[in-house]
Amino acid sequence: MDGTIEVPAAPGQTATPTRSRRKPKRSALRRAVALLVLAALAGGGWYGWRTWYAPDATRERVVTAIVQRGDLEDAVTATGTLQPRDFVDVGTQVSGQLKVLRVAIGDTVKAGDLLAEIDPTVFQSRVDADQAQLRNQQAQLADKQSQLALAELQQARQRGLMSENANTAEALQNAEAAVRSLNAQIASIRAQMQQTESSLRGNEANLSYTKIYAPMAGTIASLPAKQGQTLNANQQAPTILRVADLSVMTVQAQVSEADVPKLKVGMEVYFTTLGGDARRWYGKLRQINPTPTVLNNVVLYDALFDVPNTTGELMTQMTAQVFFVAASAKDTVFVPITALQPVGGEGRRRGTAKGEGKREGKAEARGKGEGKAAGSAKGEGGGEAAAGGAERPARPAGAAPGADPRILFASGRAMVRVAKEDGSFEDREVKVGMMNRVSAQILEGLDPGQKVQVGARAAGGAQKGAGAPKFAPRI
């Protein structure tokens, strides 16, 4: 048959051949069979990939870090400001108009240099008045001394006459009284002179205070007063300027009360400044002030240390990022802190995802010596949420979230998962030295260049185009 049939024609018409409809039915059946075959092939390929390449997929889920060698330190950080170690706020002890100001900000002065002058008119007049009064009292004293000398001569004459009975007793008594009176007057004048001299010294001192001299050598750091300004020193001494020695600067760092117990006087400390090209300035902790500053209910203690400023690069009120070095190690082996697990496996992730368990069983059946890798895959597969598939951070048993790793591994022992050449992982115990919140020193058990596990990708993170992978920390 050719696949066509003849349709009987109506009376008076010629019969027209018509194509059979069976052929399209067979074509649809063939397409369905082809689709089934392709689906079977795809399912077999997927099954084979799941069967033979599961270890590679497992490795893709593991996040590793390379063991490195370098310098490591554990530091307490704080923010501080720079101030001159030695400075003096120069003020005035007398009131008056600032008549002359002889310096400007930034000028270098020596000890004893004249810095400013206050109008001395009032104080000079007081000194002149005291000097005049003192001269008057000196003249009175000289007069009374002359009278005393005459009274003493008269007293001596009356005594001589009295011995010869040439005068009366009354005359002698008058002479003696005159001598005693003049002595009293002379004593009074001397007391008045002392009072005047005392007042004169005070007024001379106030007069000298109208000229302000540099108490130390240094630089004029600030100049709050202006020439011509009237200064009132009755309530408190107004500050005219500040002289500072900028050759040595003091860093005043504010440290939180939680970090203060880690600080020790004499410990090494360094700081950097904004725009300082990461240059470090080193010093030794000199003092921790016992009285704190409370800022927004945060208790902060001032920690002070000095640094030389021979080049003059450090300036007053600069902001310093301070690092108090609690411990340090040079040229040492270290790994990220997230690579550590407590010894005994208390901190391992528990549970195994279904897909991971199947791949592990098949990997073991292949007999390629990946038993350890399969066991490690169980550890990393556990903790996945059944609904979302996201991994939860693993923490050592009994450890609170955010626990300080320096406390968790205070014994100096830890476990890490080390990548082998065949791509599998093995658990290894290492000896841990000093550590901070980022890295840990490895004293024994690892060599630079090796890879250790530090986490695992989230379930959807391994898919291309799914965005940045999410990592699950191990502690």
What is the domain range of residue 181?
120-209
Compute the average pLDDT of residues 255-269: 94
Query: Residue 172's closest CA among 162, 181, 184, 182?
Result: 162
**Residues 305-324: pLDDT tens digits?**
999 998 889 999 999 999 99
Residue 67: CB atoms within 10 A of its CB come to: 21
Max CA separation in the chain (angstroms):
209
* 50 in any annotated domain: no
Lowest mean pLDDT among 6-10, 192-196, 414-418, 462-466: 462-466
- Domain boundary (162, 179, 209) is at 209
Residues 355 and 434 in one domain: yes
Lowest mean pLDDT among 56-70, 136-150, 193-207, 260-274: 56-70
* 144 in any annotated domain: yes
* 181 in any annotated domain: yes
Residues 341 and 418 in one domain: yes
Check residue 179 and give its pLDDT: 92
Residues 166 and 66 in one domain: no
At 35, list the tokens.
């689709």
Residues 359 and 438 in one domain: yes
Residues 67 and 160 in one domain: no
Residues 149 and 67 in one domain: no
- The CATH number given to whatever domain includes residue 388 is 2.40.420.20
Residues 338 and 434 in one domain: yes
Query: Residue 54's closest CA among 361, 371, 442, 445?
Result: 361
Residues 451 and 341 in one domain: yes
**How many domains does one find in the chain?**
2
**Residue 395: pLDDT over 70:** no
Torsion of CA 275, 280, 281, 282, to 10 degrees: 160
* 136 in any annotated domain: yes
* 161 in any annotated domain: yes
**Residue 332: pLDDT over 80:** yes
Instruction: Write the CB contacts of 278 (distance below 8 Å, at least 6 apart in sequence).
Output: 272
Phi and psi based region of residue 182 (left: phi greater than 0; alpha: psi -120 to 50; beta: remaining): alpha
- Domain boundary (209, 237, 256) is at 209
**Residues 446-474: pLDDT tens digits?**
999 999 999 876 544 443 333 333 333 44
Residues 357 and 434 in one domain: yes
* 443 in any annotated domain: yes
* 414 in any annotated domain: yes
Residues 67 and 158 in one domain: no
CB 87 within 8 A of CB 218: yes
Residues 339 and 443 in one domain: yes
* 267 in any annotated domain: no
**Residue 273: pLDDT over 80:** yes
Residue 338: CB atoms within 10 A of its CB come to: 23
The alpha carbon dihedral of 405, 408, 409, 415 has a sign of negative
Compute the average pLDDT of residues 262-270: 94
